[in-house]
């Protein structure tokens, strides 16, 4: 094909992956003294606050504009009370103080903080208690905003969670803090390495009551529509790679920024094959490019540092 010749090919390239598309996840852990590598995520560590600040500085220096923080608390209880004050709030404060230009996003969820590992408070029968959960999520989001977070990202897919958080942010003077909602979050086995890393594997039941059936696509459209109505500024699809059709459908159905979360299992899969030299590391580029081509405006990826290092040479 005449247009595929070198030079011309660059001019007609339809999709470009850039540093500005990337968000790097950072896990901060209140139970450790030194950064600890996650076995199933080679090259990814759980950090202390101090180590998270230097990791964030590193990320920013590589030209990645944003990070998303997850916390592992020093204790867990039935109500996830350690989510309200602790390592995530401290890390937000320190990172924003030392690297103000870095966009700091924080995951708002209870599963890392509850002793049963569910994303909210659970009633006597083991069902999620929606109203009490919403009020805790409001308080968590508010505590992040007070610590100086740039974006809050509620990830539990609890009914009405976006509206509840929007209302409490607005009432407390944080109208400027956007909400990135995990709107289309599938009940996926690709979260396995992350759950192991944050020890949030549930002790009973599963998340099928509030996370979506991988067989459904129309449902994702309904979920996104509801979240936008409740005030979501950015909507997310998670995982990314097995759900490119969902990213595409959402991008073509709505006029809001779409984020895709390329989750821990996607990283583990590629990283282990690369480490075994079964695959060339340029599959990282090809994979992230395909997520962008499908319609993602931004990609949360554990490969953010790797790809930022590779992009100038591609
Ligand atoms: C929930 C949350 C999860 C992930 C991000 N936020 C885990 C879950 O739903 O069990 C998974 C991220 C990944 O796999 O990389 N707080």
pLDDT, tens digit (0-9, with 9 covering 90-100), for 78-112: 888 899 888 999 999 999 999 999 999 999 999 88
User: Is the Cβ atom of 301 under 6 angstroms away from ligand 1?
Assistant: no
Q: What is the pTM of this model?
A: 0.95
Rounded alpha-carbon distances, angstroms, from residue 120 to 129, 140, 244, 259? 7, 12, 28, 23
H-type alpha helices, 148-234: 161-171, 192-198, 218-230
Whether cis (ω within 30° of 0) applies to the bond prior to 239 is yes
Residue 205 has pLDDT above 80, yes or no: no
185, 251, 271, 292: which is the annotated catalytic residue? 185
Mean of all residue pLDDT scores within the chain: 93
At residue 159, the pLDDT reads: 86
Query: How close is the Cα of 261 to the center of ligand 1, in Å?
Result: 9
**CA 211 to ligand 1: nearest atom:** 9
- Give, as one character, the DSSP assignment of residue 305: H
Band the pLDDT of 247: cuts 50, 70, 90: very high
- Kindly state the greatest CA–CA separation across the chain: 68
Query: How close is the Cα of 146 to the center of ligand 1, in Å?
Result: 24
User: Is the Cβ atom of 195 under 6 angstroms away from ligand 1?
Assistant: yes
At residue 79, the pLDDT reads: 87
Residues 40-53, mean pLDDT to the nearest whole number = 96
Among 50-64, 190-204, 210-224, 244-258, whose mean pLDDT is lowest?
190-204
- What's the CA gap between 151 and 211, in Å, rounded? 22
User: Is the Cβ atom of 186 under 6 angstroms away from ligand 1?
Assistant: no
CB 185 within 8 Å of CB 212: yes
CB 181 within 8 Å of CB 228: no
At residue 85, the pLDDT reads: 83
**Radius of gyration over every alpha carbon of the chain, rounded to an integer in angstroms:** 19
At residue 201, the pLDDT reads: 61
156-195 burial, b at 16+ Cβ within 10 Å, e below that, comes to: bbbeebbbbbbebbeeeebeebbbbbbbbbbebebbebbb
Query: How close is the Cα of 191 to the center of ligand 1, in Å?
Result: 6
CB 212 within 8 Å of CB 201: no
Query: What are the chain's domains?
Result: 14-313 (3.20.20.70)
Residues 36-54, mean pLDDT to the nearest whole number = 96
Picking from 262, 212, 259, the residue whose alpha carbon sits closest to that of residue 232 is 259
At residue 119, the pLDDT reads: 86
H-type alpha helices, the chain: 8-11, 49-61, 87-98, 130-147, 161-171, 192-198, 218-230, 244-253, 264-275, 283-294, 304-310
Q: Say whether 185 is catalytic.
A: yes
Residue 276 has pLDDT above 70, yes or no: yes
User: Is the Cβ atom of 194 under 6 angstroms away from ligand 1?
Assistant: yes
User: Is the Cβ atom of 311 under 6 angstroms away from ligand 1?
Assistant: no
At residue 126, the pLDDT reads: 81
Query: How close is the Cα of 198 to the center of ligand 1, in Å?
Result: 9
Residues 259-263, mean pLDDT to the nearest whole number = 98
């Amino acid at each position: 094909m005449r247009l595929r010749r070198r030079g011309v090919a660059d001019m007609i390239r339809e999709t470009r992956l850039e540093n500005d598309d990337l968000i790097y996840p950072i896990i901060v852990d209140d139970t450790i003294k030194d950064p600890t590598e996650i076995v199933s995520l080679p090259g990814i560590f759980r950090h202390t606050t101090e180590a998270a600040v230097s990791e964030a500085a590193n990320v920013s220096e590589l030209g990645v504009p944003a990070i998303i923080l997850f916390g592992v608390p020093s204790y867990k209880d039935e109500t996830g009370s350690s989510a309200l004050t602790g390592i995530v709030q401290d890390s937000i404060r320190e990172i924003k103080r030392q690297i103000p230009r870095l966009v700091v996003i924080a995951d708002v969820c209870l599963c890392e903080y509850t002793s049963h590992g569910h994303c909210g408070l659970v009633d006597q029968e083991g069902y999620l208690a929606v109203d009490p959960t919403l009020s805790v999520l409001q308080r968590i989001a508010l505590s992040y905003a007070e610590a100086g977070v740039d974006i809050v990202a509620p990830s539990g897919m609890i009914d009405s969670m976006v509206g509840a958080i929007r209302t409490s942010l607005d009432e407390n003077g944080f109208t400027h803090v956007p909400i990135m909602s995990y709107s289309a979050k599938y009940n996926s086995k690709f979260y396995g390495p992350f759950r192991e890393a944050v020890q949030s594997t549930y002790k009973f039941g599963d998340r099928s009551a509030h996370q979506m059936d991988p067989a459904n696509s129309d449902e994702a459209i309904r979920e996104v529509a509801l979240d936008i109505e409740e005030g979501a500024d950015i909507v997310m699809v998670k995982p990314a790679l097995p759900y490119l059709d969902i990213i595409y459908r959402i991008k073509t159905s709505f006029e809001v920024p779409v984020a895709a979360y390329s989750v821990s299992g996607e990283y583990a899969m590629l990283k282990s094959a690369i480490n075994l030299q079964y695959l060339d590391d340029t599959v990282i580029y090809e994979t992230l490019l395909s997520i962008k081509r499908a319609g993602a405006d931004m990609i949360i990826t554990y490969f953010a540092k790797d790809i930022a290092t590779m992009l100038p040479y591609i």
